[in-house]
Structure 1
């Protein structure tokens, strides 16, 4: 009989053997880290038993040294994942007869159970960042967490770098103050920057803290990832991949269970509907995305857990961790937009480390074929992508300070020292901290005359206290950092409402811009409260073509790989014949983009001058670039008429040709041009609304009522105007600018591109459209706001454009 590892008690060794398992090296290493009282970051592939490795030290400690009180806290980015892990954890507890209590606490937990958990905590509690923040806001938080020994942070990469991650990092700093010997355990399968996550797990916020041990599991079998080859019918543009639905359905028929991932909710709806039309065998196929009711999502998850479904169409709502070992195939419809994201989704299949996960990529157009190939190369090279760490949000900090004040009196010096042990806030200045504290206490200079913002008062003992208990109630009703994207009504001036669009779309418009909506060419007049006022007298081409939003951004790393692939014809052998021919025709007609420079083509067409730039910086950065280019072209007297952007290319059309491209693409466009555009657009105003909600300036929920999106917008717009006029350096305005510089504008990435291409612009003046420019020009006026245009619907003008681009005649 095999002897158990000295760190693995006989009871646990026998349980592993009964399961037909053997404890993996990284699971034993996690036990050693716990024995040494060190925190740990475990990086291991899906199917390697990461979650069990995180819980093993807890289970063993409680089995050998049973004691009451909260021992371990498990934090999940998703409520569904916490519920799933709870179910999986109950099995070894029951099978080994361990006297351990284990419960979940989420927004769905009944109030009576929450109160009982505060009085008599279970030994293991599984929760979310929001619920943890809420628990820390009560006066008895120190008593509840006094016995806490370990915090397990699952899918840590999905939290770090987000506002929810900032909230969790601050909560961890408070837990560490309550119990300085607290161990932190981070679990992740896909890690771009291990040092950044080590800092996150560290009690000091430093990546060089020797109290944190990094443990890496052995790589599993390489995934089997293929690209669906659809032959000559592969669309030139679009991203819905409706052309491939018959082939997707055939793959579903041939496999036991298939997860079909898409990149947007609109695409999920269309794909699901299309598959049902093809579903002559009445296979059980379900839909899962964030806009569906919670009950519907739970029903789908339960059916999947019972192996009752043959396929499920899902967005990123199922990217993380639900343990469905029966998934035979993952299909990614549309390009994955990132290597790490692809690996995360592929990992949903199989969940057996020794067997390869099987995945199929379904590109929606020819550029997406290149992106899919580049993503596979990245996976095989074990090179992941991700964003650099960024400072924690000041709006999240404001909510945390308020939260801490609800639990008891605050010492500002001690709280500052505590907060700066959280990795996102490690470099927080004392001036910024004091400004946020002043905002929480009084609203700041411009708002301090309003009683409702007088929340904290400094006592003679130099401690800050709530001015009234109702402020604690207000905080607890509105805690959290997730602000749902509101819808904006589109209304004709003095006329009817045409429908609703997501607010992100309107954020890019200036008065006078034209766009397509509800089959009409509209002219944007401006915003009134939560309504976009328009007139039906738009002329010519849409100045701001409608674009489908909510898409995942193309990662910088993957964009670089696509440029590299284009530059190297020796790597084209695996590409479909139609794509290879397209690229060779481009070589003949013009040039192919290189890895470090910028290819710009200009050509006349239909009494307009077109400029096409192959920048490969993602749709968000390209939208900002389009706004700035058209402003600069106006000043140059080129009479720009509009632009359209994809993840790969931006096209601008005007009445006169651009000649001085170095001046047009100069880095100084990120100075006055950027500030002027952002001030004119509604972008800053809308970003401020989100910041104000998170920071507690605007409350969505009130006792017995909840503000509508319109009411929240009216309140935030009024306060925004007051602050800009009377306190332009207000901490929330600074937080708003920081938010706007990322996200939809992607200014940092755009700045990097402009610096990279300086002196490296290659210009080709053509007599007609090039083959590589064809996809972006087909996007002009083609997509509806909700992205529901079908890929195969081309009008006669589009067919003529294709013929022009691929014709061999010069």
Structure 2
């Protein structure tokens, strides 16, 4: 972190009128600025950019927002309270709609208290047409906006007028955006605005849009809580600033006018976090995933009762529905005092829950990641995490939802869904103590996002390719793009590329005589505006009561498996399916005791590399008996049984178990690398084993390890095992071990939607998912055959490797395993480590008429006997 530097041209913060006014207002509220906030304010009035990093609930928002206020008051010291219609001063980018309302409320309180004439506007998918028109006529001084809506602004005619006065761009929750295509959207938007707000050339006349006299000073500030690679996060966000030197030299501007210095402002605040593990009365030696949590539901009732307000975090939407119903069943006194909140509930219901949290009228809310981010619910003093959070930063983020004020303690309870998750609780405590926070890896060369962005600019005022190429090249994501690749994308949107030249619908962008690239067709422009964004989910169906009123949305694949009369749960209600019409499922209320709990695609998160490493170290402590943690002590009977039957792996060991049962021959491997890496590694090992002997496998996995199950002995022993983990021909073997073409074809669907190759339909008549998939499959085949070098096709294969199969992390894991001692054990029966994986496999291959729960209970009884 750099320290504040001053020179004769830059005033000391404390000597400025803006600081005096703001400090006076804070004092009237009984508040005093933190050192990190003052440091950020000094950097902002210096004209510097940077990243603010502080624990959740410690005033990160004020660190940037009040800096903008101080800067404005310093600019207009005599008439700051009467200065009206100032144009856009602060552009505040936020990833969540729920954050916008909360941030806007806090900003308006400050503005009113200081007597400023500033207006705060919110721009996202919920903003009404009326409000958008008002903003267009008179742009507010502060605009809180999502990445998608920011790109919609760039698709307006005359958009440079909106941004010409902007002094600061703030990107909130940057740790959530970096590493996603929404983060790439932010990078591209910043590259355009930075170009407009330094000295830009008009796409029509090749003359500066702004003169050097009215050149505004634009700074960019990221706001981030928990992230491991702060320096890299800052570099990604500010790439367009730090590389944007050419206009300065072109127009002979003094470098002091546009200061590219960047800083990290880190709050050295000790945010106290109390982590409490809920230990079951009886530790099951043969645990299986999921069932224990609900059994422990009664143990959280006293926690909820003694707290003002509690957030109960559940990892999946389906389980949140079950937990909400369970809590109402076992604690009927909570009726009317607890609520449910997840992303598939109708917006009106979610907003009601958020408002009720603000006012403190709810005792508890069962929620998913929909309430992960920095919404300030001050009445919340307790958080309960049900099941593994899968990552240290996610756990910290959720803990920070309680005690969301400086100086307050965050209280979080960890409730395991099976016994072994108590090891994760111990690992999380260790990781937080040693500040082992995950890094977020930025994406590179997202050609689909760039294709969409070019069409966005073409819908607005149009663009000149050479100028935009320089801007795009300045971003982190596209710093390695070549002119040939960029030209290929231009060719793709103007003439359909190599393979689609015969189809007019792919010739979206027209080229005028002066070289301006622009979309003139109103139909194409309207279609494009409707589908700006990078979040591609499975087709969602609205769920509507026959009596009127929407209750939420559900994925089409789930509804398509139901029959008329089936009862399912959504938004905490049991409803019966009546009919499906126009992508809407019509339902009626049901009093049925039993219902189907919906599941959503992609509901299973994977363990992060950081938590996996600490988990291996924690198992090592259990093996040596060196830990004093309450969690490991409680699990001692389980560890004793594991050691008796097999082995407890230490940090420098890989355990492999070979077990024979009536179901066949089980090979179990425990890398502790997370479900996603295990998915790729299990397929790779299965392929490599099958090369030496004809054999068929069934595969199961969890975050701790994976199972290969066969009906014949599996030829793995001390003499052959190292060959299975070799790095030689790794990439080729990965591609052969899975159907990489099929995986790329599925991945291509999302890329094709983002890149505008597939139109998803008008509102209310969205194309069904299977129609989208068939359209994408056809394009995938066409490109594969006639345009094999197509950039979007190449991107699909790259994303399968880098994201779906985490090839880089797999390679690191394989290298680590080769450096470790590989221990092969032959237990006579199932072990505590193997049981949950094999139980998960039963769910996958359940051909029995017995219920899964009864089969697993029978297995437990047999093993105990």
Q: What's the TM-score, normalizing by structure 2?
A: 0.82
Alignment equivalent of 1:192, drawn from 212, 221, 228: 228
Measure the CA separation in 1 of the matches of 2:857 and 2:21.
73
Residue number in structure 1 paired with 2:371: 318
Q: Residues 367, 228 of structure 1: CA spacing in aligned structure 2 closer, same or farther, 3 A cutoff? A: same
The 2-side partners of 1:159 and 1:470 are apart by 31
Residues 1:253 and 2:253 aligned together:
no
**CA offset digits 1:601-623 (Å, max 9, x no partner):** 11222262211000111112222
Aligned to 1:115, the other structure's residue is in SS state helix
Is residue 276 of structure 2 the alignment partner of residue 226 of structure 1?
A: yes
1:502 CA displacement: 8.4
Shift of 1:483: 0.7
Q: Decide whether aligned partners of structure 1 residues 312 and 349 sit closer, same or farther in structure 2, where only a CA change above 3 A counts.
A: same
**CA deviation digits over 1:7-28, x for unaligned, max 9?**
4544322211111101111221
Match of 2:573 in 1: none
Counterpart-to-counterpart distance in 2, 1:726 and 1:342: 48
Unaligned 5+ segments in structure 1 are 489-499, 507-517, 519-529, 531-545, 805-810
Matches within 5 A, 1:699-710: 699-702=759-762, 705-710=765-770
Residue of 119, 126, 131 corresponding to 2:144: 126
Report which stretch shifted further, 46-55 or 737-746: 737-746
Which of 158, 179, 184 pairs up with 1:166?
A: 184
Instruction: Output aligned runs, 1:496-575, within 5 Å.
Output: 549-568=602-621, 569-571=625-627, 573-575=629-631
Q: Does 1:211 align with 2:266?
A: no
Q: Counterpart of 1:767?
A: 828
Residue 177 (1) aligns with residue 213 (2):
no
Give the 3 Å change call, closer, same or farther, for CA 134–729 of structure 1 in structure 2.
Answer: same
Q: Deviations over 1:39-85 (max 9, x none)?
A: 12111112221111211122233445235211111111001101111
Conserved in 2, the CA contact under 8 Å of 1:339 and 1:376? Answer: no
How far apart, in 2, do the equivalents of 1:783 and 1:305 lie? 42
1:410-489 matches, within 5 Å, as 410-466=463-519, 468-486=521-539
The 1:199–1:161 alpha-carbon spacing in structure 2 relative to 1, beyond 3 Å, is: same
Match of 1:91 in 2: 109
More displaced, 249-258 or 229-238? 229-238
State how 1:20-169 maps to structure 2 within 5 Å: 20-63=30-73, 65=76, 66=83, 68-169=86-187
Q: Deviations over 1:685-718 (max 9, x none)?
A: 2211100000111111348853232322221121
Please give the per-residue CA displacement for 1:229-261, whole angstroms capped at 9, x wherever unaligned.
113245701135112100012211121110111
SS in 2 for 1:780: helix
SS in 1 for 2:643: helix
Note the alpha carbon deviations across 1:533-553, whole angstroms, 9 max, x for none: xxxxxxxxxxxxx99951222
C-alpha distance in 2, partners of 1:135/1:84? 22
Structure 2 residue matching 1:603: 3-state secondary structure = strand
1:195-344 matched pairs, under 5 angstroms: 195-204=231-240, 211-234=261-284, 236-239=287-290, 241-283=293-335, 284-344=337-397
Could you tell me how far apart the structure 1 residues matched to 2:736 and 2:343 are? Answer: 35
| Contact 2:310–2:380 (CA under 8 A) maintained in structure 1 | yes
Q: How far is the alpha carbon of 1:103 from its aligned partner?
A: 1.2
Secondary structure of 1:756's match?
helix
- 1:698 alignment counterpart: 758
Change (3 A) 1:707 1:97: same
Give the distance between the partners of 1:264 and 1:626, measured in 2 at CA. 25
- Map of 1:749-760 to 2, 5 A cutoff? 749-758=809-818, 760=820
2: CA distance, partners of 1:4 / 1:672: 59
| 1:599 has 2:658 as partner | no
Q: Deviations over 1:106-160 (max 9, x none)?
A: 1111123212312320111111100000001112111111111111111110001
User: 1:582, 1:772 within 8 Å by CA — same for their partners in 2?
Assistant: no
Once the 2 structures are TM-superposed, how far is the Cα of residue 193 of structure 1 from its aligned partner?
0.6
User: Structure 1 residues 575 and 233 mapped into 2: Cα distance closer, same or farther (>3 Å)?
Assistant: closer
User: Number of aligned pairs?
Assistant: 750
* 2:642 aligned to which of 575, 581, 586: 586
Residue 539 of structure 1 is matched in structure 2 by none
> Residue by residue, what CA displacement relative to the aligned partner does 1:137-187 show, whole Å, maximum 9, x if unpaired?
112111111111111111110001101111111001101011023111111
Which residue, 6, 25, 29 being the options, matches 2:15?
6
Contact map agreement 2:240 2:471 (CA 8 A) in 1: no
Q: Distance in 1 between matches of 2:816 and 2:484?
A: 35
- Cα distance in 2 for partners of 1:632, 1:736 equals 25
Cα offset, 1:795, TM superposition: 4.2
CA contact (8 A) 1:62 1:100 kept: no
CA deviation map 1:378-432 (0-9, x unaligned): 1111221123333141111111111112222322221111012222222323332
Q: What is the deviation of 1:441? A: 2.1
- The 3 A distance-change label for structure 1 pair 784 and 243 is farther
Partner of 1:54, secondary structure, is helix
How far residue 269 of structure 1 moved from its aligned partner, in angstroms, is 1.0
Q: 1:482 offset after TM fit, Å?
A: 0.7
2:632, 2:302 → 1: CA distance? 20
Deviation at 1:671, TM superposition (A): 3.3
RMSD: 2.9
Maintained 8 Å contact 1:157/1:191: yes
Structure 1 pair 580–90 and aligned structure 2 pair: CA distance change class (3 A): same
Q: Give 1:341 shift.
A: 0.8
- SS of 2:15's partner is coil
- C-alpha distance in 1, partners of 2:815/2:862? 34
Greater shift, 42-51 or 775-784, is seen at 775-784
Distance 1:148 1:431, change over 3 A: same
- Consecutive unaligned residues of structure 2, counting only runs of 5 or more, are 1-11, 77-82, 199-216, 245-258, 542-553, 561-567, 569-582, 584-598
How far did residue 321 of structure 1 move? Answer: 0.9
1:658 and 2:718 correspond? no
Q: Which moved more, 1:23-32 or 1:557-566?
A: 23-32
The 3 A distance-change label for structure 1 pair 464 and 453 is same
Q: CA deviation at 1:565?
A: 1.0
